[in-house]
Amino acid sequence: MRHFLFLLIFSLSGTFAAAQAIIPIPVQTEARPGVFTFGKTVDFVVPQSQPEIKKYAEELSRFIRPSSYPVLTRKGKNPAVIFQLGKDEKLGREGYVLEVKEAEITLTANTPAGIFNGIQSLRQLLPAGLENRQTAFTGAISVPRCRITDYPRYAWRGLMLDVSRHFFTVEEVKDFIDRMSQYKFNVLHWHLTDDEGWRIEIKSLPRLTEVGAWRVERHGAFGETRPYPKEGEKATYGGFYTQDQIRDVIKFAADRNVTIVPEIDLPGHSMALLAAYPELSVKKEPKFVNPGAKFAEWYGAHEFKMLIENTVNPADEKVYAFVDKIMTEVAQLFPGEYIHMGGDECYHGYWAEDAGVQEFMKKNNLKDTKELQAYFVRRVNEIIASKGKKMIGWDEILDGGGLPKSTAVMSWRGMAGGIKAAKEGHYVVMTPTTYAYLDYTQGDKSVENPIYADLSLAKSYELEATPEGVDPKYILGGQGNLWTEVIPTLQFAYYMTYPRALALSEKLWSPQNASTFPDFVNRLENVFGRFDQAGVSIAKTIYEPEVAVSRKDDRYYLELKTAIPGADVYYSLDNTYPVKFSSKYSGPVEIPEGRLRLRTQTYKNGEALGRELLISRDELIKRAK
Ligand code: ACM
């Protein structure tokens, strides 16, 4: 009995050690006592004639030991890491089995993509110090014994990167891809065109990048007070990717099991296109590439008005010939199945006012501008299909009806569009603002960059991409979207993307209900250490309390919630510093009258974590619910 108990306890704590490390949580982890140690001699053994696997093995070998372990095709007597291909239906294309024994690690998969994913899990079991590429790691390198069987729930696990609102270089895009692939994302949705910049070289339409890739430089809040370009002002901010660069990025992504889905956003969001070719609009007026100036009015509930025309003219045949030229080159460049045609937030006001457009609608039996947009979407679908590709678009492409079944829908205005689309028999990718918009504010507004909406890590972790009552076969998966209006640098892009993207990756890779938020947070704290070592600052807003204020009669009450197990929040309302062992928060407190400020600081195991929050009483009262 004592023996049995000992074993049980050992195995539970062992399970904890192995499972604690990995995000997204694997399908199955069996932990055993003991470790594999990377000592002086370890052989990496790969199958013959598998150059991709050999490359992965070489990279892993260099990661663990810069002087590198040998990569061989036959196992000898040394401890070994063995990579092998097998045939196990349940693993599919991307799954793997990772078995760590004391003298041998074996990684088995059906394809190199599965091997790649298995390596990402193994990497998370290795010491975080290895992620530091500046300082050589000198500690012992061992991996807990375990057997992990793992495969994805969804085939589409994406992140969208907007490179129009701010431009990111080829090296930065590659870095973004490399990092997402470590957490088993497999689709980069590359938002290449928008009002603020056209970023893809189209050889037959050179003005798209000569003119459309550049805007005058402005600072300050995007979409608010930035002035329009002055007469004759040189456009100096921007950039674009040449087709050679794009091919290079596609190859880099493919080597990491990432498919790139390019987006050409039509018929709205086209001010950069129209700056280059204004004749394709209804009014044919000269345009500029928007430098982040206000040109729209937003009324909430997805209602808006564009003060400057940013739509192509769907009644003009020249537009379709133009789109054909673009799609011909896009289809030749990108090997993936899908091309994204946008379709979102298209203002119909200029169409509605134009006699030529009205006549076109009458001739084609289109009763309103919604049907006109649906007509445009069908024409673009035909063009994309003629290049051997499938079309995907934002959920507005359902409006107006008649969407061909072969077209996939990306649901962003909540889940409703996705549910409707799946019920109509379209494939769907779920990217609802409510769970997946990575540009939304992720912590307290007093320390974060406030934008028009909030999305906490806990909320992202609630994403369930297959709604009840929907046939799961239509749900391809989901995706986090990083719009970059307020994100000018790669470092800040990481800050906004992670850790919420990790919550999404778990929701898209791991089985439904495979874990809980507190357990995810436990594993996340381990992953924080890996990002720290890699020199990448990601948001740790989860350490900062959620500040809620309630009102009862004329009194106001403060609530401070923390999502971190074992963390305590200390606070003061009298401008003293909330230090450990002073005023520990234990339940709602009344906010007294007076000119005072709330200060908070979180502690865990005696260590201050996250930032201090400092919020005036006036601001607290404004937040009262
Ligand atoms: C979108 O957020 N406009 C798709």
* CATH classification at residue 9: 3.30.379.10
What percent of the chain has pLDDT above 70?
96
Contact 373, 441 (CB under 8 A): no
Residues 163, 142: one domain?
no
Choosing from 110, 135, 150, the residue where a domain stops is: 150
Say if residue 542's pLDDT is above 80.
Answer: yes
Residues 429, 569: one domain?
no
- The answer to whether the peptide bond before residue 499 is cis (omega within 30 degrees of 0) is yes
Spot the catalytic one: 189, 269, 348, 426. 269
Q: If residue 10 lies in a helix (H) or strand (E), which one and from where to where?
A: helix 2-21
User: Which residues, in sequence order, are CB contacts of 351 under 8 Å at separation 6+?
Assistant: 282, 311, 313, 314, 315, 357, 369, 372
Give me the chain's average pLDDT, please: 94
Q: Exposed/middle/buried for 524, CB within 10 Å: 0-12, 13-18, 19+?
A: buried
Say if residue 8's pLDDT is above 50.
Answer: no
Spot the catalytic one: 162, 201, 345, 506. 345
Residue 604: which CATH number?
A: 2.60.40
Determine the atom of ligand 1 nearest the C-alpha atom of 437.
2
Beta strands in 164-307 (DSSP E): 187-191, 193-194, 197-198, 214-215, 237-238, 259-266, 296-300, 303-306
Domain that holds residue 426: 156-198+243-272+310-537
pLDDT tens digit string along 450-467? 888 999 999 999 999 999
162 in active site: no
Segment 373-401 shows an average pLDDT of 97
Distance CA 196, CA 485 (A): 9
CA atoms within 13 A on the CB side of 346: 33
Distance CA 214, CA 121 (A): 41
User: Which pLDDT score is estimated for 18?
Assistant: 59
Type of residue at 268: G
Type of residue at 117: N
The number of distinct structural domains making up the chain is 3
Distance CA 438, CA 457 (A): 10
Distance 412 CA to ligand 1 centre (A): 7
Say if residue 11's pLDDT is above 60.
Answer: no
Type of residue at 322: F
Confidence of residue 300 (pLDDT cuts 50, 70, 90): confident
Spot the catalytic one: 194, 195, 196, 439. 194
CA angle at 541 for the pair 538 and 542, rounded to the nearest 5°: 110
pLDDT tens digit string along 598-623? 999 999 988 999 999 999 999 999 99
> In testing the pocket of ligand 1, which one of 160, 194, 264, 344 has its CB within 8 Å of the most ligand atoms?
344
Residues 138, 164: one domain?
no
Contact 81, 107 (CB under 8 A): yes
Residues 553, 422: one domain?
no
Distance CA 622, CA 620 (A): 5
Confidence of residue 13 (pLDDT cuts 50, 70, 90): very low
For 238, the token pair is 């921007």
Choosing from 494, 512, 537, the residue where a domain stops is: 537
574 in active site: no
Contact 380, 266 (CB under 8 A): yes
> In testing the pocket of ligand 1, which one of 345, 397, 452 has its CB within 8 Å of the most ligand atoms?
345
Q: If residue 324 lies in a helix (H) or strand (E), which one and from where to where?
A: helix 317-333
340 in active site: no
Q: How far is CA 339 from the centre of its chain?
A: 18
Which amino acid residue places its CA nearest to atom 2 of ligand 1?
412
Residues with CB under 6 A from ligand 1: 344-345, 394, 412
Confidence of residue 581 (pLDDT cuts 50, 70, 90): low
Residues 437, 514: one domain?
yes
Confidence of residue 109 (pLDDT cuts 50, 70, 90): very high
pLDDT tens digit string along 464-504? 999 999 999 999 999 999 999 999 999 999 999 999 999 99
Residues 96, 193: one domain?
no
Distance 345 CA to ligand 1 centre (A): 7
User: Which residues, in sequence order, are CB contacts of 537 under 8 Å at separation 6+?
Assistant: 491, 494, 495, 531
The DSSP line for 473-525 is: GGEEEEEEEE--TT--SHHHHHHHHTTHHHHHHHHHHSPTTSS-HHHHHHHHH
In a domain, 135, yes or no: yes
Say if residue 5's pLDDT is above 80.
Answer: no
